[in-house]
Structure 1
Amino acid sequence: MPSGLDRTVVADPKWVGPAFLVGLPIAGAALGWGLTFVAEWITGLSWFPFQGLFELVTELPEAVRLIVAVALGLALGIFLALMAVHEMLTVTVGNDRIELHRGDVEESVPRGEIAGVFAEDKRLVVLGHRRQELAQVEFDLDRDRLAAALRRHGYAWLPDGDPYADRLHRWVPGAEGLPRGADALLKARAHALEKGKAEDLRELRGELAALDVVVRDRDKKQYWRLADPA
């Protein structure tokens, strides 16, 4: 676990990023090479998608076909590798704050606002003293390493998950107990959840948090509870 004087960084092992950057382009190039041998067979399958593309490939000279297929596979592999590296999670635990960085999402939570941290349903959640969620991010790192880092810096790690899980209610339109405006936000968020619009989901979660509403997603369903008033 790499550590500095006043912070501990929890992330994937250093070899994971280079493995993506090397392995995925090679796999993509190999896939492109392999497709040159089955392109003609695929054109005979009327149900197979991208028929026009495979028909175009079969019309190319064999040498050109091989070069184009390998180049396209290599480019696809590079793109996927860069995306994978970009989406790798880094949690920086310091004496004064916790920072989360994944993709385009960067969150920094001051120590004084943090009541505890837990990981559940592949999500890392930072809880506040009013039982509100201060930050949340998709989590795929080693829990023991994260727990050790948090304890090293004096933060409360909650090994049993969400301590307020029993307060969650499944959302249905017009649910009672929600503050004004929350039902409309949850309705919009349900649509975003169905369509898989991650940016909209995060933005609407933030708007609900401003109304002291905590929302959790499970199997395309939304569950909510209220934080304590400020």
Structure 2
Amino acid sequence: MPKLGDRVVVWVGAPLLGAGAGWLLRYVVGWATTLPWTPFEGPLRLIESIPPTAFTIGAVVVGVVAGLVLAAIADEYTVKIVIDDQRVSIAHRSSRQELPRSAVALAFLDAKHLVLLGHDTEELVRQGGDLPRPRPLAEAFQAHGYPWRAEGDPHREEFRRWADGHPDLADAAHAYLRARARALEKGDDRDAEQLRQELARLGVAVREEDKRQFWRHAGRGAEEAET
């Protein structure tokens, strides 16, 4: 996952669309220069003066290259999930996580995130991004025997809005949450994910809504997080 067919559509379709746009560009330029007034009239007439064959070939090549660049960007942001009877691996941009089947107690979708819980209710994975469609994703986990919960997070009601200095959290957890709040504000998803993992080691699960953070105690590190 994502399905091979979806990736083929992106890698073939985007360059073809780019090529088509390049081929049509000369007609668009020619039409624009016939208008009584048009912005950039000088550059447009300069483009129109290029020999038709050379212009069409150049525009199509540029369109194909632009399509390939867009396909590469789309592919980079797509979350790639491989599931079998022994393990599940999740790759997104430069990060990769792999978990043995025995470590996963529950899998579900929480809004736009795939969440995998461990046997102590700790969040092993909370992956956002361009995920596969919900139904094929659920079917893939279920086909390999992973417990899947269609109703979403069973611990959702346990999450509380984070307030700096809350006495139920350790100073270390507050420090990570402050740093994570700054990362979310800047849109630094990679740093936010690293800080989420550090909080998980302290026994704190964290999720966000519109850059607001919500937390709950989870896992064997929970007692340490409360001290």
When the two structures are superposed, what TM-score results if normalisation uses the length of structure 2? 0.77
Match of residue 12 from structure 2: 22
Indicate whether 1:62 and 2:50 are aligned: yes
Deviation at 1:127, TM superposition (A): 0.2
Q: Is the 8 A contact 1:24 1:77 kept in 2?
A: yes
Q: After superposition, where does 1:119-134 map in structure 2 within 5 Å?
A: 119-134=109-124
Q: When you count helix as a share of all residues, which structure comes out higher?
A: 2
Q: After superposition, where does 1:39-58 map in structure 2 within 5 Å?
A: 41-43=38-40
Q: Quick one: which amino acid aligns to residue 91 of structure 2?
A: H
Deviation at 1:108, TM superposition (A): 1.0
Partner of residue 154 from structure 2, selected from 140, 144, 163: 163
Indicate whether 1:174 and 2:165 are aligned: yes
Greater shift, 216-225 or 92-101, is seen at 92-101
Q: Distance in 2 between matches of 1:70 and 1:33?
A: 6
Q: Is the 8 A contact 2:83 2:144 kept in 1?
A: yes
Deviation at 1:210, TM superposition (A): 1.7
Indicate whether 1:91 and 2:81 are aligned: yes
Deviation at 1:143, TM superposition (A): 3.0
Deviation at 1:119, TM superposition (A): 0.9
Q: Which runs of 5+ in 2 are unaligned?
A: 222-227
Q: Distance in 1 between matches of 2:143 and 2:73?
A: 32
Q: Distance in 1 between matches of 2:180 and 2:172?
A: 13
Match of residue 224 from structure 2: none
Match of residue 226 from structure 1: 217
Q: Decide which structure has the larger Cα Rg and report it.
A: 2
Partner of residue 116 from structure 1, selected from 89, 103, 106: 106
Q: Is the 8 A contact 2:2 2:81 kept in 1?
A: no
Q: Distance in 2 between matches of 1:226 and 1:35?
A: 58
Q: Quick one: which amino acid aligns to residue 65 of structure 2?
A: A
Greater shift, 74-83 or 135-144, is seen at 135-144
Indicate whether 1:188 and 2:179 are aligned: yes
Indicate whether 1:79 and 2:69 are aligned: yes
- The count of corresponding residues between Structure 1 and Structure 2 is 210
SS at match of 2:170: coil
Match of residue 5 from structure 1: none
Identity of aligned residues (%): 34
Q: Is the 8 A contact 1:116 1:128 kept in 2?
A: yes
| Residues 223 and 31 of structure 1, relative CA distance in 2, 3 Å threshold | farther
Q: CA RMSD in A?
A: 2.7
Q: Distance in 1 between matches of 2:168 and 2:155?
A: 17
CA offsets 1:77-135 (integer angstroms, 9 cap, x no match): 11111222333333333332222233323211122322111112121111011211111
